[in-house]
Chain A
Amino acid sequence: MSQSDIKRLSLILLFMPFALWILLLIVLPHIGMGVLALREKVAPRVYEFGFGNFIEFLQEPIYWNTLLRTGSMSLLVTALALLAGFPIAYYIAKVAGWRTRGALFLLCLVPLWVSDLIRAFGWILLLRETGVVSSMLQTIGLLNAPVELLYNDVTVVIGLVYTVILFMIVPLVSTLDGMDDAMIEAGYNLGGNGWTVLRRIIIPYAMPGIVSGCIIVFMLTAGSYLTPILLGGKNSSWFTETIYEQFITRYNWESGAAFGFLLLAFTSFVVWLGLKLSRQTLAGTIARS
């Protein structure tokens, strides 16, 4: 075996786990889902090729309303995560000393050590009718009856922002970290006030980080299942819930698969639109961080 053969073999071996992962867990299931989505049930155990599942989606307003609702709420969550995450990221990257920086970053990561489920139960513990917040408000006399804080859209949005904000902070910190402090000082030196410097220098500079954070957060939110279900209850009308229902409750794998593709297409479209509007490219944002 020649030297170059060994090199090639080791390269193939190193690449293998990734290739298998992509092939077996991403490509194959999606091909299977595609086949499922494109067949119509005409009679028990009799199927025909056709777009019936997609047509059904369009004809039933509850389905596409749920998808639009999921999309718009995910956009809201993304915007809120950006608004809340940017100052945190800016503080970590530019204001904090290098010693506190590590500690703050670690603090941001701590919630990830606890499973999603446990964290959602934490919210339930706080917000339910007999929960901590409700009883505290009664104790200090602001309320005279218990109040149910769960199962509404505000709670779902807050819970989602909390779950995904880390994925906004990390890319933001890494882009802001690369920014020379002198650039901000130059912005002031040339006559800009705080707002001008933020708008004309810091935000344009951080744009790749902002966009990649937004893409990750939007995708995670639109595809999340646990948080909307646990905090929003059975009627939270999240699209993943509709998909789950098709697969598990109604045992209608065909339309579930079609819905899955619709969600993928919809989120991809939103991301594409966002990239076009912010004049960024996928290679310049996600691939860079």
Chain B
Amino acid sequence: MNASHDYDLECTGVSKNFGRLRAVDEVSFKIPSGSFFSILGPSGCGKTTLMRMIAGFEDPTAGDVKIKGTSVLNTPPNKRNVKMVFQHLALFPMMNVYENIAYGLRCNGAGKAEIEQKVKRVLERIALPDVGEREIHQLSGGQKQRIAIARCMVLDPDVLLLDEPLGALDLKLREAMKIELKLLQHQFNTTFVYITHDQSEALVMSDNVAVMNHGKFEQIGSPQQLYHNPASAFVAGFVGDANRWKGRVLEAAGGGIRVETAAGLGLVGTAGSGQSPQTGDTVEVFVRPEFIRTGKGGAAPAANHNHLEGVVDSLLFNGANSRVLVRTGSGELIEADVTLTGGADDVQPGETVILTWSPDQALCFAARADR
């Protein structure tokens, strides 16, 4: 492989206008070969439009889309070697499973023996070797999902696009399919571009995630980078859960930034990446629930840590992901992760607890005008 093929998909300055609305705004990214790339964003952020441009169903207003180093702007959708798994899968109900998978091969003019062999092999790879003769409506949700992927993968695409394909599945199946998709991607070793609004899908499966908002990419990075070093307030708020406060900077000296929230809660935080808040600025502070320790007093907290006293308002029991809602003296509700063992040590509603967290875990971003 030569250098120009290191990236299966490259977008440079891609924009799309619908009338006066700019759906996609100057998006640039490169996806290394064989990786799992997710585009994560709220609905209406332009991610579907971006994907439709890659597939060729929309023409970009500006910018270039390159697949394996070659621009595909003038290539019609049926000639691009980019296959797509649609949101509702779009399996052809009038054909059986075999015909669905064979359709693309037939379009490419493959011979009968070749089709038969390829379909058989792809069905084995998705671990559904015996469903060829079944009708689409006889398949379960997870099976349909895999057939939709097989239908694309049998054509050996350079890039596989997936448009929120798990949205229609129930929770349990969705969890299972996340893992399965990741395994399938490893197995086929093809670049997957996965579009979703569900951050857990993006974080679990991806090598790299792009967070998209209002047509722009806010940040591209590994799931860990996005989670621990968000580049903007939007990313900090959108990826993972966080307690979020708006406040004014009282003092911005050295490492720590002292902030007082609107309700009068004082805390110390660190500037988020690329941020340099000055005294008097309005900032947003993000603290993830898992970084807040809930204690019943006793051991003294580390000197420089934030610590607050509050009353447990309610327990949100969810097994290993249980949380408490703590109401502080200033009246704000803070979410914190707790371990509930079912023993006598567990916090109870109405109890007074002390919350502590390190200033490193409280990221401050300049507050933008509210949208």
Contacts and interface: CB of A to CB of B under 8 A. Distances in A.
Contacts of A182: 86-88, 90
Nearest to B81: A191
B78 A191 contact: yes
A196 B107 CA distance: 8
A191 B86 contact: no
B19 interface: no
A204 B86 CA distance: 20
Contact of B152 (A180, A183, A190, A196): A190
Contacts of A145: none
A182 B151 CA distance: 15
B90 A192 contact: no
Interface in A174-213: 180, 182-183, 185-193, 196, 200-201, 204-205, 207
A212 to B, nearest CB: 16
Interface in B147-162: 151-152, 155
A148 to B, nearest CB: 48
Contacts of B94: 201, 204-205, 207
A189 B92 CA distance: 13
A193 B78 contact: yes
A186 B86 contact: yes
Contacts of B103: 187, 190, 192, 200
Contacts of A191: 78-79, 104, 107-108, 155
Contacts of B83: 189-190
A86 B152 CA distance: 30
A183 B155 CA distance: 18
B77 interface: yes
A168 to B, nearest CB: 20
B57 interface: yes
Contacts of A193: 78, 107
A189 B88 contact: no
A207 B152 CA distance: 26
B248 to A, nearest CB: 49
Interface in B105-121: 106-108
A110 B165 CA distance: 43
Nearest to B151: A190
B88 A180 contact: yes
Contacts of B203: none
Nearest to A184: B90
A207 B93 CA distance: 12
A51 B146 CA distance: 63
B50 interface: no
Interface residues on B, range: 20 to 34
A182 B164 CA distance: 13
B195 to A, nearest CB: 14
A190 B107 contact: yes
Interface string B130-153: 000000000000000000000110
Interface centre among A182, A189, A191, by most chain B C-beta atoms within 10 angstroms, is A189
B51 to A, nearest CB: 11
A207 B92 CA distance: 13
Nearest to B108: A191
Contacts of B87: 182
Contacts of B233: none
Given A205-B93, A205-B94, A190 B155 contact: yes
B347 interface: no
B40 interface: no
Contacts of B104: 190-192
B220 interface: no
B271 interface: no
Contact of B84 (A189, A201, A205): A189
A51 to B, nearest CB: 45
Contacts of B92: 183, 186-187, 201, 204-205
B86 A188 contact: no
A193 B79 CA distance: 9
Contacts of B82: 189
Interface in B66-96: 76-79, 82-84, 86-88, 90, 92-95
B90 A180 contact: yes
B341 to A, nearest CB: 48
A188 B80 CA distance: 10
Interface centre among A183, A188, A191, by most chain B C-beta atoms within 10 angstroms, is A191
B84 A192 contact: no
Contacts of A205: 92-94
Contacts of B107: 190-193, 196
A254 to B, nearest CB: 48
A207 to B, nearest CB: 7
Given A182-B87, A196-B107, A189 B77 contact: yes
B205 interface: no
Contacts of B55: 185, 189
Contacts of B57: 185, 188
Interface centre among B57, B79, B106, B107, by most chain A C-beta atoms within 10 angstroms, is B107
B93 A185 contact: no
15 contacts: A182-B90, A183-B90, A185-B84, A185-B90, A186-B86, A187-B92, A188-B78, A189-B82, A190-B83, A190-B107, A190-B151, A191-B79, A193-B107, A201-B94, A207-B94
Interface of A: 180, 182-183, 185-193, 196, 200-201, 204-205, 207
Given A186-B84, A191-B78, 19 more contacts: A182-B87, A182-B88, A185-B90, A186-B92, A188-B78, A189-B55, A189-B82, A189-B83, A189-B84, A190-B78, A190-B104, A190-B151, A190-B155, A191-B104, A191-B107, A192-B104, A196-B107, A204-B92, A205-B92
